[in-house]
Amino acid sequence: MSTQQDLICEQIDNIKMAKVYERPDSLLDVRMHYCPGCGHTTTHKILMEIVDELQIKNEVIGVAPVGCSVLAYDYLDIDMQQAAHGRATAVATGIKAVQPDKYVFTYQGDGDLAAIGTAETIHSANRGENFLIVFINNGIYGMTGGQMAPTTPIGEKTATSPYGRDRATMGAPIDITGLLAQLPGTFYATRQSVHDAKAVRKAKKALTKAFQYQKLNKGLCIVEIVSNCPSGWKLTPYESNQWMIEHMMSLYPPGDVKAPSKEDLQS
Amino acid sequence: MSEVKFMKGNEALAEAAIRAGLDAYFGYPITPQSEILEYLAIHVPKRGGVVLQAESEVAAINMIYGAAGAGARVMTTTSSPGFSLMQEGISYIASAQLPCLLANIVRGGPGLGTIQPSQGDYFQAVKGGGHGDYHLIVLTPSTVQEMADFVYLGFDLADKYLTPVMILTDGALGQGMEKVTFPDYDPAKKKVAKPWATTGKSPNRSKNVITSLYLQPEKMEQINEELQAKYTKIRANEVRWEEYLTEDAEVLFTAFGLGSRIARKTIQLAREKGIKAGLFRPKTVWPFPYQRLKELAQQVDVIMDVELNAGQMIEDVRLAVEGAVPVLFHGRMGGMIPTPEEVLEKLEANLQPAQAGISQQEVAL
């Protein structure tokens, strides 16, 4: 049955197509639980692209504490430890202490890193621990249903700041990346986002550097990803990105907060 | 080659940990156990290994989680308020089934309490402490020698059962000096394979994940059942105790750790007065030696439990005895140590009514 359609199909099969995109090998082909439009999925993808490109899959250990990304180990095909809420950097300190040659990273949200785990975060940086913190800052508690985070902008309405975050009683948004940049143990502190293609490329570049810097043994790297939370913010994915640019990026402007000098990069 | 030394209990524990092949120690200073961190800080780096002073006990126990999960032989030590802070992490470690050694050099409480010795943390050690259905294997040394011996035993049991093991002791045994012999122990020979550890995913195995999170209740129940099956095995195989002059005993003292040393002396004083007394000392308080104590209860007229608390192990003693004989109690709290003389006095005041089946409370009335 030789129809014109079959002929076209045959022709297509014969065309040599260049592969321009594929799922990174280390990102498992499973359904993720993240909401549509959430920055976690993109961040997971570029992290695993980096692991594949640097060919460090057998040398990388990740830590996922409590938050929306607590199940990250279901999606990433690498060795991982799940940590108690806020304790990711303590767990990573333990791993790195006994596996000093491995690439270790934590993947933490703002509630985890900037509220309940502040002490562990600051002291890991102050000790100059040689691991990477990937910090997803969406200014809200996504997993527990949209409560106020330490990073929530002033005036922002959440489940626990129903009249808007009031500076007088609820404090001001905390800039953890800026705080860590003050400490001599922090080697590289940068703020990125993944809301468009250009931002994704820049974030990937920053994360790649942060992985490579671990081999220098010169201190902690933190890559903050200013992100969105369409469900928590009660916005569509598109609206949430617009809101993020307007309200989050003014508070947390993208760019390097502390970058190593040329001399710093000498091993 | 075994070696004899004269040391503090805390130092003996630390030295034994090094000899047992300690890879990493994470801890936070707290009296009366800071010598452990100090001793290890001097000696571990010289022999290869990690000693890290954490920013808190909360951080220390999570460092233990990370390092144990990465396959290392690890230990942390603390004292009562610090052990309370560690409870969340210990629950995670028990659930994730990671081997590690913990020691609580107990001080008087509750609250900030005092730095003097106490056994007030018995309930916390054997009845839970953190959240969820789990147990620790709990070893209770009564000499500086056992402060060292139980370190080797603790590490080996932790590896055997993939469980946190704790040494429950107190400031007197931590600070007191005695002779201690370090046995031949080759950590290399005791090393077990840890194919589950997160060491980087090699191409010839699937990824390793250390977790205690199971959102499906069916799966979580299954994990709980696995834990309980393990505890059943531990109860069957790892119960340890010591008896002293129990053959002809009519009065049986029950006591652990420091309390057992006071009971021993009381027994000597009692026997001088013609009271046939003996001692039953659990070395493991979890698993508790219920069965042997139940047997002994058939033989004696009365049991007297001695503790440095308001009466905690006495609940396990009564569970074992099942009302077969009266169980008297003497305890001091808040860092005070009972003397053998006051224990004997209490015994003598209550012995005849107890033998006649009248309870201690009724005597007091």
Answer yes or no: do A81 and B198 touch at CB < 8 A. yes
User: Which residues of chain B from 94 to 113 reach within 8 Å of chain A, CB to CB?
Assistant: 96
B228 shares its domain with B272 = no
User: Which residues of chain A from 163 to 202 reach within 8 Å of chain B, CB to CB?
Assistant: none
Model confidence over B266-316: pLDDT tens digits? 999 999 999 999 999 999 999 999 999 999 999 999 999 999 999 999 999
Model confidence over A180-215: pLDDT tens digits? 999 999 999 999 999 999 999 999 999 999 999 999
Model confidence over A16-56: pLDDT tens digits? 778 888 999 999 999 999 999 999 999 999 999 999 999 99
Other CB atoms within 10 A of residue A4 CB:
7
pLDDT above 90: percentage of residues in chain B: 94
B316 shares its domain with B264 = yes
Model confidence over B209-235: pLDDT tens digits? 999 999 999 999 999 999 999 999 999
**CATH superfamily of the A24-258 domain:** Thiamin diphosphate (ThDP)-binding fold, Pyr/PP domains (3.40.50.970)
In this structure, are residues B53 and B29 in contact, taking their beta carbons and an 8 Å threshold?
A: yes
Confidence of residue B357 (pLDDT cuts 50, 70, 90): low
User: Which residues of chain B from 305 to 334 reach within 8 Å of chain A, CB to CB?
Assistant: none
Confidence of residue B359 (pLDDT cuts 50, 70, 90): low
The single residue listed with the structure tokens 């010591």 is B242
In this structure, are residues B154 and B234 in contact, taking their beta carbons and an 8 Å threshold?
A: no
Answer yes or no: do B58 and A81 touch at CB < 8 A. no
Tell which of B185, B220, B237 closes a domain: B237
B88 shares its domain with B60 = yes
The DSSP secondary structure of B14-28, one letter per residue, reads HHHHHHTT--EEEE-
Least CB–CB distance from B59: residue in A78, A80, A123: A123
B96 shares its domain with B187 = yes
Domain boundaries of chain A, sorted by first residue: 24-258
What is the enclosing helix (H) or strand (E) of A124?
helix A118-126
| Averaged pLDDT score across all residues of chain A | 95
Q: Which residue of B has its CA nearest to A126?
A: B55
Confidence of residue B247 (pLDDT cuts 50, 70, 90): very high
The whole domain housing B346 covers 241-364
User: Which residues of chain A from 25 to 84 reach within 8 Å of chain B, CB to CB?
Assistant: 57-61, 63, 70-71, 73, 76-84
The predicted structure's pLDDT at residue B364: 47
Confidence of residue A2 (pLDDT cuts 50, 70, 90): low
Angle at B100 between CA B96 and CA B106, to 5 degrees: 115
- The Cα–Cα gap between A172 and A181 comes to 19
Answer yes or no: do B209 and A81 touch at CB < 8 A. yes
| Distance (Å) of CA A263 to CA A216, A250, A266 | 12, 32, 5
CATH code of B342's domain: 3.40.50.920
Answer yes or no: do A95 and B70 touch at CB < 8 A. yes
The predicted structure's pLDDT at residue A20: 85
3-state SS assignment for residue B164 = strand
Which residue of B52, B93, B206, B209 to mutate against A (max A Cβ within 10 Å)? B209
B280 shares its domain with B146 = no
Confidence of residue A4 (pLDDT cuts 50, 70, 90): confident
Answer yes or no: do A93 and B52 touch at CB < 8 A. yes
Peptide bond into B45 cis (omega under 30): no
Contacts of B88 in chain A (CB under 8 A): 84
